[in-house]
Amino acid sequence: MFKKSHFLIMSFLTTSQILYSDHYMAQIIPYQTHSVEAEIGGIVKTMALSKEFSYVDKSILVIQLDITNDDIEIDSLRDKQDILNDALDLRYQNLQSKKSLRQISKYEQNQEALSTLETKNSLLTTNMELKIKENNREKKRFYLSGGYLGKIYVNEYEYVSPGKKLFEYFDFSKSRIDIFAVPEDIDNITTKRIFIDGVKTSEWKVEKVSKVKDTERVSAYQVRLVKENKNPKSATFGKIVKVEFQK
């Protein structure tokens, strides 16, 4: 929020002079807001609609897309993996046996070695395909733990395409205030005393100070204040407070 001010419009050089008061008005918000989108398309099969707009302590499955075909393909690849592992063991045994027999030509030994390498390559390819399939299946499951679940944007049995917004959640571990400070407040701001609604506080700390002026508020620098929440579940947000900095 911008510093509480009065605006004086001047026609000279078509610019605006801004007269600032001695404090800032800003809103307390969650430390971070996260938007979760689908990376892979699919049909919504499971959703924790009952947990919408509530704080989640332990891990819950918020949304799961249909993984039926993924399970079938993964089971098939695991069976193929087992077969290729057995085949590779036999190839190694045959190769060692042929190497120990003098009547087996070098050509035959090389052919057996080549077959062994081909089987090994097939196994490596299968392992890779299996890992990709397992990763893609996990990308269809969306969990949340230790956060506030906001709005869910999809419905059960709805098809969602990649990039579709699924839900949002908030980090309540800290509270945050963003203000846009004038240059005179920026100097040594981390050493100044902070007052919230006229009361000196040690809970709120300056976390970040931009060294570049804001592109919209061209005479101000963004400053972020944060406060640790000992009990995130009971934290409240949205209140408008007066922020002051004093030496």
3-state secondary structure of 124: helix
| CATH code, 17 | 2.40.50.100
> In angstroms, rounded to a whole number, what is the distance separating the alpha carbons of residues 141 and 50?
17
| C-alpha dihedral sign at 207, 233, 54, 42 | positive
Same domain, 152 and 233: yes
**Could you tell me the residue range of the domain that residue 112 belongs to?**
68-138
Say yes or no: 191 and 234 in one domain.
yes
Which of 164, 206, 189 shows the shortest CA–CA distance to 245? 189
- In this prediction, what percent of the chain has a pLDDT beyond 70? 89
For the ranges 4-13, 193-202, 208-217, the maximum mean pLDDT occurs at: 193-202
Mean pLDDT lowest among 10-14, 66-70, 124-128, 143-147 = 10-14
In terms of DSSP bridges, do strands 199-201 and 221-228 run parallel, antiparallel, or are they unpaired?
unpaired
Q: Which of 8-12, 66-70, 102-106 is most confident? A: 66-70
**What would the pLDDT profile of 43-69 be if each residue is shown by its tens digit?**
999 999 999 999 999 999 999 999 999
Instruction: State the residue for tokens 């971070």.
Output: 32
> Are residue 109 and residue 181 in the same domain, yes or no?
no
Q: Are 43 and 140 in contact (CB under 8 A)?
A: no
**Amino acid type, 80:** K
> Is it the case that residue 123 has pLDDT exceeding 70?
yes
Percent of the chain whose predicted confidence (pLDDT) is above 90? 72
Based on the domain organization, do 95 and 55 belong to the same domain? no
Examine the pLDDT at 2 and tell me if it is beyond 90: no
Q: How many domains does the chain have?
A: 2
Q: In the predicted model, is pLDDT for residue 11 greater than 60?
A: no
| Degrees to nearest 5, angle at CA 164 with 162 and 169 | 125
Q: How far apart are CA 30 and CA 237, in angstroms?
A: 7
pTM for the predicted model, two decimal places? 0.77
| Residues 116, 167 within the same domain | no
Domain final residue, candidates 123, 138, 153: 138
Identify the residue whose tokens are 């579940």.
Answer: 233
Which among 226, 165, 211, 134 is positioned nearest to 35, based on CA atoms? 165
Residue 13 pLDDT: 29
Residues 126 and 233 in one domain: no
Same domain for 215 and 170, yes or no, is: yes
pLDDT at 19: 32
